Amino acid sequence: MSGRCGNLTGNEQAIVADVGDRAAIEAMMRDVRAVVHLTGVGGDYDLETLFRVNARGLFDVFESARLEGVERIVFASSNHAFGCYPITERVSPDMPPRPDSLYGVFKVLGETMLRNYHDRHGIRSVSLRIGTYRPLPIDQRSLATWLSPADVAQLVDLSLRHPDPGCMVVNGYSNNTRLKTYDPNWSVLGYQPTDNAEYYLEMLRANGVDVDSPDRGEWEWPEHGGSHARVAERPARRA
């Protein structure tokens, strides 16, 4: 809900506002049936910014939607909600979250809030645990985690059109050969990703990316969250 919008069609309207502007958020929700919430800042921001956008801003969007009678929310969650699982474990959405960072913690918060909004207020939702969303794969890890623009568009569209997703969590990846997760909810939504990171092996190899290591055992990162699960944090004080 911030930034610039261009190339609008006749039935579209752009309203540019900060996610911290509650009054503007409430105004946006009037006469709206569904919300796709993509706003967020990455894990390299300080706690205050993360909280303002990814926690307080998240609440203001969801609560404003509830108060205006919005019926469905599609939420951009993240694979970092389960990033501390070993890469050798095929994670599915029905497994407990294991966030790899404060960024991942706030994504789990969003999923949990939507469970509450469904149980208390009947708002249907789909939380998309998005992998590496880029126009093209960028590194070895994205051979497993890439989500292409075409596939994310399909995933969002299906999440909006499904007659009753309840409160669903879905892993957001393309049809990658080296995919390391399992998600029965793809078939529930009717999601059939068409892109595959493997098509870009030669491009990655030409860019110096090691694409020839064994698929398991010598993988670039030992956890699903990649570098997020290994970022150095402030050490604890010792007695």
What string of pLDDT tens digits covers the 239 residues of the chain?
Answer: 344 566 888 888 888 999 999 999 999 999 999 999 999 998 777 889 999 999 999 999 999 999 999 999 999 999 999 999 999 899 999 999 999 999 999 999 999 999 999 999 999 999 999 999 999 999 999 999 999 999 999 999 999 999 999 999 999 999 999 999 999 999 999 999 999 999 999 999 999 988 887 655 556 788 999 988 888 877 888 75
Task: Give the integer Cα–Cα distance in Å for 143 and 220.
Answer: 11
Q: CA-CA distance, 96 to 84, in Å (whole number)? A: 11
Catalytic residue of the set 85, 103, 133, 173: 103
Active-site residue, 103 included: yes
d(CA 118, CA 228): 30
**Total-model pTM:** 0.92
Residue 36: CB atoms within 10 A of its CB come to 15
